[in-house]
Amino acid sequence: MNTIAVSLFLLFVLVTLYITYWAAKQISSRDSFYTAGGNISGFQNGLAISGDFMSAASFLGISGLVFATGFDGLIYSIGFLVGWPIVLLLIAEPLRNLGKYTFADVASYRLQQKPIRTLSALGSLATVSLYLIAQMVGAGKLIQILFGLPYDLAVYIVGGLMILYVTFGGMIATTWVQIIKAVLLLFGATVISILVLYQFNFNLNLFFSTAVNNHELGSKILNPGGLIKDPISAISLGLALMFGTAGLPHILMRFFTVKDSIQARKSVVYATGFIGYFYILTFIIGFGAIILIGSNTDYLNPEGGLIGNNNMAAIHLAHAVGGDVLLGFISAVAFATILAVVSGLTLAGASAISHDIYANVINSSNKNEKKELLVSRLATIFLGILAIFLGIIFEKQNIAFMVGLAFAIAASTNFPIIFLSMFWKNLTTSGAFFGGLIGLLVTIALVILSPVIWVDVFNFSEAIFPYKYPALFSMTTTFFFVICISLSDRSNQAIKDKKGFQEQFYRSITGIGIEEGKKH
Q: Identify which range of 86-94, 138-146, 365-373, 427-435 contacts another protein by CB under 8 A.
A: 86-94
Among 81, 137, 154, 427, binds another protein (CB under 8 A): 81
Give residues 263-292 in contact with another protein (rule: CB under 8 A): 265-266, 268-269, 272-273, 276, 279-280
3-state SS string for 470-505: CHHHHHHHHHHHHHHHHHHCCCHHHHHHHHCHHHHH
Q: Is the sign of the CA dihedral 135, 89, 256, 108 positive or negative?
A: negative
Q: Is the sign of the CA dihedral 108, 114, 116, 120 positive or negative?
A: positive
Least separation in angstroms between residue 86's CB and another protein is: 7
Q: Does the protein bind another protein through residue 466 (CB under 8 A)?
A: no
Closer Cβ to another protein, 282 or 354, answer by number: 282
The amino acid at residue 117 is R
Least separation in angstroms between residue 269's CB and another protein is: 5
Q: Does the protein bind another protein through residue 204 (CB under 8 A)?
A: yes
Least separation in angstroms between residue 353's CB and another protein is: 33
Least separation in angstroms between residue 93's CB and another protein is: 9
The amino acid at residue 354 is S
Distance CA 274, CA 469 (A): 27
Q: Does the protein bind another protein through residue 262 (CB under 8 A)?
A: yes
The amino acid at residue 268 is V
Q: Does the protein bind another protein through residue 208 (CB under 8 A)?
A: yes
Q: Does the protein bind another protein through residue 82 (CB under 8 A)?
A: yes
Least separation in angstroms between residue 243's CB and another protein is: 10
Q: Does the protein bind another protein through residue 86 (CB under 8 A)?
A: yes
Closer Cβ to another protein, 268 or 442, answer by number: 268
Q: Does the protein bind another protein through residue 88 (CB under 8 A)?
A: yes
Q: Identify which range of 203-211, 450-458, 461-469, 488-496 contacts another protein by CB under 8 A.
A: 203-211
Distance CA 322, CA 316 (A): 10
Q: Which residues of 405-419 are buried (b: 16+ CB within 10 A; e: fewer)?
A: bbbbbbbbbbbbbbb
First to last CA, the chain: 53
Secondary structure tally for the chain: helices H, strands E:
22, 0
Distance CA 140, CA 150 (A): 8
Q: Identify which range of 71-79, 181-189, 433-441, 475-483 contacts another protein by CB under 8 A.
A: 71-79
- With H, G, I as helix, E, B as strand and everything else as coil, classify residue 112: coil
Specify whether the CB–CB gap between 285 and 193 falls below 8 A. yes
The amino acid at residue 303 is E
Least separation in angstroms between residue 128's CB and another protein is: 26
Least separation in angstroms between residue 189's CB and another protein is: 15
Q: Identify which range of 83-91, 293-301, 370-378, 409-417 contacts another protein by CB under 8 A.
A: 83-91
Residues 230-249: x/- map of binding to another protein (CB under 8 A)? xx-xxx--x---x-------
Q: Does the protein bind another protein through residue 78 (CB under 8 A)?
A: yes
Alpha helix (H) residue ranges in 199-247: 204-214, 231-244
Closer Cβ to another protein, 224 or 451, answer by number: 224
Closer Cβ to another protein, 35 or 272, answer by number: 272
- With H, G, I as helix, E, B as strand and everything else as coil, classify residue 260: coil
Q: Which residues of 66-105 are buried (b: 16+ CB within 10 A; e: fewer)?
A: bbbbbbbbbbbbebbbebbebbbebbbbbbbbbbbbbbbb
Among 10, 11, 89, 464, binds another protein (CB under 8 A): 89
Q: Does the protein bind another protein through residue 209 (CB under 8 A)?
A: yes
Say what the alpha-carbon torsion angle 220, 224, 229, 233 is, to the nearest 10 degrees: 170
Closer Cβ to another protein, 131 or 469, answer by number: 469
Give the footprint of another protein on this chain (CB under 8 A): 71, 74-75, 77-78, 81-82, 84-86, 88-90, 204-205, 208-209, 211-212, 219-220, 222-225, 228, 230-231, 233-235, 238, 242, 262, 265-266, 268-269, 272-273, 276, 279-280, 502-503, 506, 509-512
